[in-house]
Structure 1
């Protein structure tokens, strides 16, 4: 059934297995008896058939006829015959899993994408929504919630040596009618079973940057036992001076930054009862629906290692305050090529991966797995953001009972 799809994806959590198809046989014996009847002087032949059903039985080996049918079906769907070979090689009492790599080799899967290729929120946000996006009629929508208008952002304080008026903060540029929530920082622990119990942790940073953002980040770092956690950021920009202050703090603490998105599992982060024993949320990294626009790129520029996931969208545009932005990028040791790209873009311009690498905005082609992947805690030396949960530590310290 899966093979019949036009696009066929199976993410890392999917389990696809095959086995031998059981054939049930229903033997029968047929007896024919021919008799003759004479009607009005004419002789007619009458044949009767008697069927005797035998005892049914099953065989655990695929019949040649069934194998030919499956082979023809797979060929019609454009899928390789390796699927049939694996089915034949696996007893009906067992299931052989087909890995994603083998699925691609056999053309059973069409790409390495996950379900978000078809169901991600970003699909309905562009100028041309995907065919499976549907707008809900006004009368079917829930009543609108009235929200208070946010207070205007505070202006940056001018240095004492310059009593001139402070520059005006550059506002967040969001989609029309879509007020982005303020950036929040939460500590997240990876939930991939491949790393359990020693899983990586990171700081999730999502939302619009405001003048309060640097202080919130500073307070979180001060409260952490391990202040060297990498930052996973997804933001459509925000207050320019808030971004510059946050970028300098990241640069000062030598933190790594990656543009990706965190999916919190189990509950909404602001709710109660969401934290594990470590005081962290539990989540997974997602490459879909990730945006780092405008001033967000400047926050990324502060990182020690700076990575962007391949499916993330990173764009820049002119934000004013040219001298301040240029001096900041020079302080972060970023090529003047990035400032030129920002200065020359009156509208948002998406940067390609090779351009980001050329201007030094990213430090390499690596992805978020370099900092948050489930396998990093098995390497030696172990990264700073790996630690065992309290329960595992207590187990390790408790001597076994004799």
Structure 2
């Protein structure tokens, strides 16, 4: 009982009777189910954990893309580029995009770290309802990047952006495989990465307090109830509940995908990510074939008598001559022969693309040391930053070579992690040797005028000075059959995130686990000494670049694969491929 208090308008003898009812506390639990992703930026109000290894993905956006690949002119394949994290608003965006397409059916090329599980299920159903194909891949835009000022405004006839699609460095993780399952044809071959893990459920408890009081005024009894809500401490659970498991199981059955996907999700902790191999995807019916993204974006689709349904013919003049973009780093450009230019002095030696190059460039080089004339070694010079286009460029070069077993001489300050893994796997698959060194092209910097000798080849020498191989570059080196580092080259490693992915890659390359431990020891670049590289298995021996590119190797028996006599003087010079 609470004692009353006097009221001015009520006699003193009249007391307010107050009875306090017991406090009734009802605890309500509200939850939001989201996939805990490996590569996600902070998204307000979505309650998805912000992983410290985030790769800076923004929310998913859908962009109409048209192929700008070599050989594609007026009739080219088109697709929908879907890149970024899946949020609650993503399904509505896709619906608007498909509405603009009308009756056209374009394949979806997806690259996503995952995101909202419920939204991913909605996306899968939208894709299936519209009968669309899907592939894991990244779209690299050739003229300008979407969102750049003036980009995509006047490309004409519904095509805003031109580019190429590749699977190097592409991913579909966490909730993304649920979206992927909705495709009519589902392609994840090549270097695409598809991974799953447990669902993370975040609980937000709150307490509702009801306080009921009674008071009597002038003989009438009144009931007064007040409600107070107190937020509790949120917490997460990392085990999929039975109800949610049934929901995903029903969805997979609806899409014709096996329950093995759900089993993989349950078996993988939310803090980890498990890659599903292409073989397992086929067994689970998650993938419908071993094809790559080229199945939907290759130029050959539009060359036959019956072009694919995503091919469209437009006139060549619909593409603008120039687009306003941010200035790119200056590169040496080829000058048309009809344009007069000032003669420039030729220096004895000048570095090739080098570490200063904005993107990695591959050039086939023939040794120019007089000691090897005429039978000289050849190699692939790989210099510059590793980008998402790097694996595709290397694959194209190897396909164009008469001798695809040339060693790779690499110098790079690193770059994109997933692209480095894809390039390393390609090197490993082709059983190529890799050496960390630098190529100096004789008298010029390809592809400038005057670079080619009489036989139509780039000629040069190996240099040990100014050579670096940092972070992602070391992972490319790890894919080599023979792995060498010149004594004066600087090789350094650092933690780049994606621990489980990097660890699995090094195991795949049969590298000593000690290298992974060395990588994870430091968050900044840490130089490895020669004996350390040999001890952890990054290098296969103490040999130098001369073992693969020296002037005397072509006189040994058996002769190495990269030795070749130059063509006769009467033969027509053929320019070596460069990418």
Q: TM-score, normalized by length of structure 2?
A: 0.39
Q: Does 1:275 align with 2:291?
A: no
Contact 2:455 2:569 in 1 (8 A): no
Kindly indicate which of the two structures has a greater share of residues assigned to strand: 2
| Residue matched to 1:306 | 483
1:324 to 498, 501, 512: 501
Deviations 1:97-153 (A, max 9, x none): xxxxxxxxxxxxxxxxxxxxxxxxxxxxxxxxxxxxxxxxxxxxxxxxxxx998899
Q: How does 1:1-400 map to 2 (within 5 A)?
A: 156-158=170-172, 161=177, 163=179, 180-391=357-568
1:162 CA displacement? 5.3
Contact 1:294 1:348 in 2 (8 A): yes
Q: TM-score, normalized by length of structure 1?
A: 0.55
Deviations 1:146-167 (A, max 9, x none): xx99889997231673549999
Kindly indicate which of the two structures has a greater share of residues assigned to helix: 1
Distance 1:216 1:267, change over 3 A: same
Distance 1:377 1:330, change over 3 A: same
Distance 1:306 1:383, change over 3 A: same
The whole-number CA distance in structure 2 between the counterparts of 1:333 and 1:198 is 35
Contact 2:378 2:562 in 1 (8 A): yes
Gaps of 5+ in 2: 1-142, 148-164, 181-192, 196-354, 572-579
Distance 1:180 1:253, change over 3 A: same
The whole-number CA distance in structure 2 between the counterparts of 1:151 and 1:274 is 36
The DSSP-based 3-state class of the residue aligned with 2:171 is: coil
Deviations 1:6-59 (A, max 9, x none): xxxxxxxxxxxxxxxxxxxxxxxxxxxxxxxxxxxxxxxxxxxxxxxxxxxxxx
Q: How many residue pairs end up in the alignment? A: 237
The whole-number CA distance in structure 2 between the counterparts of 1:184 and 1:219 is 12
The DSSP-based 3-state class of the residue aligned with 2:410 is: strand
1:194 CA displacement? 0.2
The whole-number CA distance in structure 1 between the counterparts of 2:510 and 2:570 is 41
The whole-number CA distance in structure 2 between the counterparts of 1:196 and 1:276 is 13
Contact 2:433 2:481 in 1 (8 A): yes
1:274 CA displacement? 1.9
1:264 CA displacement? 0.6
The whole-number CA distance in structure 2 between the counterparts of 1:304 and 1:158 is 29
Deviations 1:311-370 (A, max 9, x none): 000000000000100000000000111100111111110000000000100000000000
